[in-house]
Amino acid sequence: MIKYIIKRLLMLIPVLIGVSIIVFFLLRVCAPDPAPVVLGQHATEASMQEWREANGLNENIVVQYVNFIKGAVTGDFGESYYTNNSVLNEIGSRFPATIEIAIFAIIVATVFGILIGVVAAVKKNSIIDNASMVLSLVGVSIPIFWLGILFIILFVKILGWLPASGRIDSMLRPEGGTGFYLIDTLVQGDFEAFKNALWHLILPGVTLALYTLAIISRMTRSSMLDALNQDYIRTARSKGIGEGKVVLKHGLRNALMPIVTVIGLQFGSLLGGAVLTETVFAWPGIGSYTVECITKSDFPVIQAVVLIIATIFVLMNLIVDIIYAFLDPRIKYGKRES
């Protein structure tokens, strides 16, 4: 198993090098010159030339790439064209916001997705089942940003229950700590701030969750229907085991494999969805920051974001494969399949 994990980790290296080449090529070769965007339309040719020189954009493209990779390996992604802060700091300060919303969304999507899927499968063709099918269809068809807009109109404008933007009221912002406001406020014992942060999290979190929730409930339903049709379920029932135990222990346990795959794969689309959700709710995470940097041609940041997100994504896939082995003892990695 450990051998397999190491092998898979080594296989990630060429993938990430490839990703870095793709991104670097797109932004440094295909993209228009960032100098006029960064310095403004009225910048003189001389000042732009000086700026390019200072940012190493005049070097040979291969040299630029090698420098970029050398830095990236040590966690040095250069500086933002605008703030002169290191890219890693810029991203690091926004990272907890995105992880917080992503984890919130994946929890909501998993809990409710599996719950709805199981109930729909057990009560097949009932009202609940039909409602769940409609929900999953709408969930995959509605644009995530428009869903956010509808939520704001309903819960902020009409009902006035929840805040429309930001992570927390500025007065209550916790100092220092991990950057995860829900954790920081709890640790500091500031329950009012905790409640405030949670209130801010609900709308963007649920918006981000809905697509994944739809996919998970759909997958759970069909996977559960498969499992519940198996002979061992009939056997379990005929032995007089309670229906609840049959469904959960014999049904869900065996239906779990495809569900875990979907959850793992969804994590990537969740990070992508964060780009849109954060923009709608002015959530100060990496997603909205990336969009801002793209409109400002702040290329060092974009390169770093894409590379970091790709790394997280491929690691997630690896983790899913490892979880497999625990859920299904028949799977043994490291041996060649025939």
Partner 1 sequence: MASKKVLAADGADVQEAVHIEKPESRFKAMWDTLKKNKAALFGLFVIIILVIIAIIGPYITPYDPNSQVMKEAYQSPSASHWFGTDNLGRDIFSRIIVGTRVSLFVGIAAVAMSLLIGTILGSIAGYFGGKIDAVIMRIMDMMLSIPSILLAITLMAALGKGIDKAIIAIGVVSIPEYARIIRSSILSTKENDYVAAAKVIGNSDRRIIFHHIIPNVVSSIVVRATLGISTAILDTAALGFLGLGVQPPTAEWGDMLGRVRSMILVYPYMLIFPGLAITLAVLAFNLFGDGLRDALDPKSRS
CB of 135 or CB of 182, closer to partner 1: 135
Closest CA to 1 of 338, 321, 327: 321
Spatial separation of the C-alpha atoms in residues 99 and 89, rounded to whole Å: 16
Q: Least distance in Å: CB of 183 to partner 1?
A: 26
Q: Least distance in Å: CB of 79 to partner 1?
A: 18
For Cα atoms 272, 276, 280, give the angle at the middle one, nearest 5 degrees. 155
CB of 238 or CB of 295, closer to partner 1: 295
Spatial separation of the C-alpha atoms in residues 131 and 113, rounded to whole Å: 13
Q: Least distance in Å: CB of 139 to partner 1?
A: 11
By the criterion CB under 8 A, which residues form the site for partner 1? 14-16, 18-19, 22-23, 26-27, 30-32, 137-138, 140-146, 149-150, 152-153, 156-157, 164, 222, 225, 268-269, 271-273, 275-276, 279-280, 290-291, 294-295, 297, 302, 305-306, 309-310, 313-314
Q: Least distance in Å: CB of 294 to partner 1?
A: 4
Residue 86, beta-bridge partner list: 79
Q: Least distance in Å: CB of 235 to partner 1?
A: 23
Q: How far is CA 234 from CA 140, 242, 249, 258, in A?
A: 34, 12, 13, 22
CB of 102 or CB of 260, closer to partner 1: 102
CB of 16 or CB of 48, closer to partner 1: 16
CB of 230 or CB of 269, closer to partner 1: 269
CB of 128 or CB of 294, closer to partner 1: 294
CB of 80 or CB of 297, closer to partner 1: 297
Q: Least distance in Å: CB of 145 to partner 1?
A: 5
For the chain, state the CA radius of gyration: 24
Q: Which are the contacts of 220, defined by CB distance < 8 A and separation ≥ 6?
A: 113, 114, 116, 117, 118, 120, 121, 255, 259
Q: Least distance in Å: CB of 11 to partner 1?
A: 9
Closest CA to 114 of 291, 290, 256, 323: 256
Residue indicated by tokens 């450990």: 2
Q: Least distance in Å: CB of 12 to partner 1?
A: 9
CB of 185 or CB of 279, closer to partner 1: 279
Q: Which long-range contacts (CB under 8 A, 24 or more apart) does 142-148 make?
A: 142/210, 143/276, 144/207, 144/208, 144/210, 144/211, 144/273, 144/276, 144/277, 145/276, 145/277, 145/279, 145/280, 147/207, 147/210, 148/203, 148/204, 148/207, 148/276, 148/277, 148/280, 148/281
